[in-house]
Every structure is written in C-alpha cells, then in structure tokens.
Amino acid sequence: MKYLWKLLGIVFPALIWVSCIVPYEPEELVNLDDIIVVEGNISLTGPFSIRITRSTPISSYQYGHKTINIERNANVFVRNRQGKKYSPNSVTAQGEYLFDFSPENPNQEEEYQLVIESQDGRSYETDFRKSRHSSDMELNYKIDTVAEKISIYVSSHDQAGLSRYYYWQYSETWDYVSQRPAYCYFDVSSVKETNNFKPWMYRCWNSRASSEILLVETSSLVQDRIKDLEIHSINFRDIRITQHYSIDVIQTVLDNDAYLYMENMRKNSYDIGDIFSPQPNEISGNIRCVTDPSVRAIGFVSVCNSVRKMLFINCVGLPGYIREPMPPDTIVPLDAKVGFMLSLIQQGYSPHTIDPLAKVSYWNLTRCIDCRNKGGKPVVPPFWPVEWPWF
C-alpha cells in the first residue's frame, strides 16, 4: 500500500496543479473510491503478513495528505485445494493480518489462495498458486571511506536455474544515544537521581521498513546468479550508523506474472513523468471479487518460500554525524519552586546532573538529553545482540 499511496501522492497533486489551467479529472481517478488494496505474499516457510486497506477518491485529498482507510475486521484466511484453512494469528492496528502456519508443515507441492471476506458482505479471492523455489542468499557490507557511506549487498545463486525473478524487502533497526547522558530526571515536583547511576533516556532504538521496490530478473543471463547487488546504502552523516545497526532482508522468488505486476508497480511509483509512462489504472493483480465481478480490487499475492537473513554492523567510531552545539548549562537549586522548573521544561529544558554538595541541578536542552526526541524509544529489540549495549 505504501507504494500505491506514494504513487497517488505523485499523480494527484500533479493533476490538481494542471487543473488550474484546464479542469481535468479523469473519471477512473475521481471515482477511485473504496477499492480494496491487498499487500503481501503467502509464505509456507515462515511468518508473513497481509495488509488490507481501501482507496479513496481525489476529492478526499487535501494539501497532499489523506487518511488511509484500513480494513481491520475482515475474515481473512489462506486455504489449499483440499479446503484446509489457515487463519491469522493476530491483526495489527495498521490492517496487517499476521500469519505463521509453517509449524504445521504445509505441503510444498500444494496450491494455495488467499480469501478475504469483508464486512460489507463481499468476498475476494486470489487464484490458486504453487509456491516458488527460493535460492539461498548471502548478505555483506562495505564501509566506503571515500564515498562516506555504508553499502549493503546481497548475493544469490540458484544452480538449478529455477529462481530467475527476485524481489527483496528489508527492515532496518538502529540504536543511537543522546548528546549528554542524564543521571537525574524531573519527577512531578522535584529532580531525582536515577537508580544505580543508570542514565535516563540515553539510548533509544528506531526502525523502519524499506520503501523501494527492489527487483532483479536473471532470465537473460547464462547463470541464475546475483553477485554483490547493492540494495541499500547509508551516508556517514546519518544517525542510523552512529552506534549499531541491523538490517533484516527477505528474499522472495516470484513467477513471471508476479514479477511483471511488481515491475509495473515500480514503474508507476518511480517512472511517472512523461506521457509514455504507465498509468495508475493499469495496476490490477490476481485478486478478484467473487461476489460481484464488477467490483475492482488491487493486489498480487504470490505463494513463496522466502529466505530471510539479518546483518549486524558495529558502527561506533564512524565519522560524519554532526550534532548541534549545546548551550551552557542552566543551574537550578534543588529547592527551586515547582513552577520555575515546569517553566524550564516548557521552554525545552531537562535536568541531567545533580550536585548534592552544591545542592543544585544542571539543565540543558531536552532534545539533546532525551533520546526519544529523535523518534526512537528506549526499548531493546528482542533480537539485539547481547554484546551490544542495552541502555
């Protein structure tokens, strides 16, 4: 869905800009309302998610923004030709239906389909498909001091030549620290020291998923081999590589029609700009409304055996990330009035150190002390290496 909304975010503002010359609102775009949009692939070898949302018409866009309609309460399941059903384990607030029926050892030679029974009484189905073989992959990285970046590479080789159409997704997680560790904090009415001299909100973790559509096909090559393909790079000045970094990569092998669908999606997302570019209404897929064939749906769901690997990089000591200058500390008596300390907090300050002998606390900019101000949370991911700092 993120690709579709990115595409619509490009197309619709452009149409609005053109309309100040000659009003132009193609009917297929104006009425692009309440179309179910399905993202994800069925995996027989591990966990997977299916995200379901609904489109909205141009008229719902204001200043380039819109609210995505999320389908959270549909009856969603996977079934095989024999009628065996696999239900999701849970549903997220973002409309992701989370599955993992790999412990049931589903038959790799069987055909499977996704079924969606929406609350409006309509039923949607994909076509039945067999899983695709997926070759193994390797991840590596390079620290390039000349280009001042870290590059992530993927390699894959299928000796049987059965893979051919590759699709990668990834999510990245990183930790970072505040500019100054704080060994105290403001608690309701006074400044208190942290327990066991543990810094307060010093280290945070953040993550995000890939937004690119990463596709490669090897059908024109002599060998079904991919060697050191760069799938991601990060500049030294990026906060993501100031401390520790991990990337979780999923490689999926597609069949030809699934690959063509994703390639069409990629072109619609990134290659829009001239009259010969593919148009948004070309995107369809392999999901259909079986209760009313006139109802349109968007999405392509493959059945696959995905390969998933993680790469961990210790980035401590890399140059480049620039921190803002901090002003001189503000010294506040420990017995200062609550109103005065609250006014400092409203001005964007927080305490970081207590001097018990002088009976004062030292304050500075909260955004330089509290790591949460840069988007992360002080919550350690469950996969974080034990040898790396956890606070």
pLDDT at residue 107 in the model: 92
Q: What is the largest CA-CA distance in the chain?
A: 79
pLDDT at residue 211 in the model: 85
Task: Residue 387: name the closest of 294, 287, 331, 316 by CA.
Answer: 316
Residue whose token pair is 């930790």: 175
Q: Which H or E run contains 184?
A: strand 184-187
| Residue 8 φ then ψ, to 5° | -65, -35
Strand pairing partners for 120?
Answer: none
| Residue 125 φ then ψ, to 5° | -140, 145
Strand pairing partners for 230?
Answer: 153
Please give the Cα distance from 250 to 162 (Å, whole number): 18
Asked whether the beta carbons of 213 and 7 are under 8 A apart, the reply is no
pLDDT at residue 236 in the model: 96
pLDDT at residue 18 in the model: 30
Please give the Cα distance from 385 to 307 (Å, whole number): 21
**CA-to-CA separations, 337 to 191, 332, 344, in angstroms, rounded:** 11, 10, 11
Please give the Cα distance from 268 to 6 (Å, whole number): 9
pLDDT at residue 23 in the model: 33
Please give the Cα distance from 53 to 73 (Å, whole number): 11
Task: Residue 6: name the closest of 174, 206, 210 by CA.
Answer: 210
pLDDT at residue 304 in the model: 85
pLDDT at residue 267 in the model: 82
The CA-based angle 216-219-220, given to 5 degrees, is: 100
The CA-based angle 298-302-308, given to 5 degrees, is: 120
pLDDT at residue 57 in the model: 61
pLDDT at residue 216 in the model: 93
What does pTM read for this prediction? 0.81
pLDDT at residue 194 in the model: 96
Per residue of the chain (391 residues), what is the pLDDT tens digit? 444 444 444 333 333 233 223 333 334 444 556 789 999 999 998 888 999 998 766 455 444 445 568 888 999 999 999 999 999 999 998 889 999 999 999 998 999 999 999 988 999 999 999 987 778 899 999 999 999 999 999 999 887 777 888 999 999 999 999 999 999 999 999 999 999 989 999 999 999 999 889 999 998 888 889 999 999 999 999 999 999 999 999 998 888 888 998 898 888 776 554 444 444 445 568 999 999 999 989 999 999 888 889 999 999 999 889 999 999 999 999 999 999 999 999 999 999 999 999 999 999 999 999 999 999 999 999 999 999 999 8
Amino acid at 318: L
pLDDT at residue 256 in the model: 87
Please give the Cα distance from 313 to 44 (Å, whole number): 30
8-state DSSP, 67: P
Residue whose token pair is 């927080």: 350
**CA-to-CA separations, 145 to 151, 197, 235, 236, 318, in angstroms, rounded:** 11, 37, 10, 9, 9
- 118 CB neighbour count, 10 Å cutoff: 18
- 322 CB neighbour count, 10 Å cutoff: 8
Residue whose token pair is 């390639």: 263
Task: Residue 41: name the closest of 31, 53, 49, 33 by CA.
Answer: 49
pLDDT at residue 32 in the model: 57
Asked whether the beta carbons of 176 and 206 are under 8 A apart, the reply is yes
